[in-house]
Amino acid sequence: MSSRNKVTNKKLIILGQEIIPGKNYELNLSVAKLHTSTPVQIPIVVERAKEDGPTVVLMAGMHGDEINGIEIIRRIIRKKLHKPTKGTVICIPIFNIFGFLNLKRELPDGRDLNRSFPGSSNGSLASQFAFQFMKEIAPVADVIIDFHTGSAQRNNYAQIRCDFDDARSVELAKVFNPPIILDSTLIPKTIREAIQRIGKQYLLFEGGKTNSIEETIVEEGINGAKLILNYFGMRSFKIDISFGRTPVFMEQSKWLRAPNSGLFLAQVKNGSPVKKGELLGIIMDPFGKIERKIKATKDGFVLCVNEAPTVYKGDAIFHIGKEIVM
């Protein structure tokens, strides 16, 4: 028997369904029930090539109001970009179904799903979601790409976040080739920590803001997914954007917070390089008496801008990172 036949005959089971080489499946992950006892199911699209290879999971909607990621995966499916010539692609366009129905970040229990991993079968609703994912999906995945956006009217410049001490994560982040790669240590109880603890690879994409579809962000996400599939030999895509671009590596990122409450007007574009002392924005009172200038405290790049028209003292308004050479 050839080595090709050996890998092609590898058995793959997802949610109790054997995934046959060369076939596609629409499965449902059952996680909870409504008050009416109606089951809530997470739709999962699986495409397996005839030739075996890596299993890549593309997922979005960890937070129900992060629509950019949902659109990225919807478009990937619509354009049939998820059909590999080798290996398996699993698409989960909306993970937090409850949050998406209400267009809210959290689940109905008020918990953040991305602070509930690895979860528990008898825990909170968020914990049950996390548990089912770690039980049913994570074990079959080799790489998970998770698409997020900023929260609370904060607009993230397109970026991949990873721990720079993890060489493999840095390598995959370079392959994805976003404008910015940000050093980010593992946060307890996040999906990123849970996935990396079991020896799987995970990429966290951040781009745009909540409750919106931004074409530039969608294209960045699609392009990154294409590059990852190219890298693993699962497809051979022509690259639409970012060809020849080198990501900027950032560390020591820090939030600038509003020194007082009032109307807020940003004066700098997201993703822009800034110098220490440069004007970033203005906070004003509604009665024309006060205008307080917000200036950069160091050289760096703007990674995120708060687009809320009003802010309270202490609100995060600008996320600034320092460029390093990798």
Q: Residue 246: inside a domain, yes or no?
A: no
Q: Residue 92: inside a domain, yes or no?
A: yes
Residue 224 tokens read as 């990154």
Q: Is the dihedral of CA 176, 179, 184, 190 positive or negative?
A: negative
48: helix, strand or coil: strand
Contacts of 100 (CB under 8 A, 6+ apart): 61, 64, 65, 70, 94
The CATH number that applies at residue 257 is: 2.40.50.100
Residues 203 and 263 reside in one and the same domain: no
Q: At what angle do helices 67-78 and 215-231 cross, to 10 degrees?
A: 60
Range of the domain at 262: 252-324
Q: Residue 240: inside a domain, yes or no?
A: no
pLDDT of residue 59: 98
Residues 227 and 307 reside in one and the same domain: no
Residues 202 and 158 reside in one and the same domain: yes
Residues 71 and 180 reside in one and the same domain: yes
Q: Can you tell me the distance from the alpha carbon of 113 to that of 124, in angstroms, rounded to the nearest whole number? A: 10
Residues 68 and 122 reside in one and the same domain: yes
CA distances 207 to 22, 52, 136, 150, 239, Å, are 33, 32, 27, 7, 19
**Mean pLDDT, 10 residues at a time, over the chain (326 residues)?**
48 96 96 84 96 97 97 98 98 96 91 96 93 96 98 96 96 97 96 96 98 97 96 89 81 95 97 97 96 96 97 97 92
Instruction: For residue 209, give the nearest of 144, 284, 150 by alpha carbon.
Output: 150
Q: Residue 78: inside a domain, yes or no?
A: yes
Q: Can you tell me the distance from the alpha carbon of 261 to that of 310, in angstroms, rounded to the nearest whole number? A: 8
Residues 164 and 15 reside in one and the same domain: yes
Contacts of 70 (CB under 8 A, 6+ apart): 60, 61, 93, 94, 100, 147
The CATH number that applies at residue 192 is: 3.40.630.10
Q: By the 8 A CB rule, do 217 and 209 touch?
A: no
Query: Structurally, how many domains does the chain consist of?
Result: 2
Instruction: For residue 111, give the nearest of 120, 93, 94, 124 by alpha carbon.
Output: 124
pLDDT of residue 7: 45
Q: Residue 185: inside a domain, yes or no?
A: yes
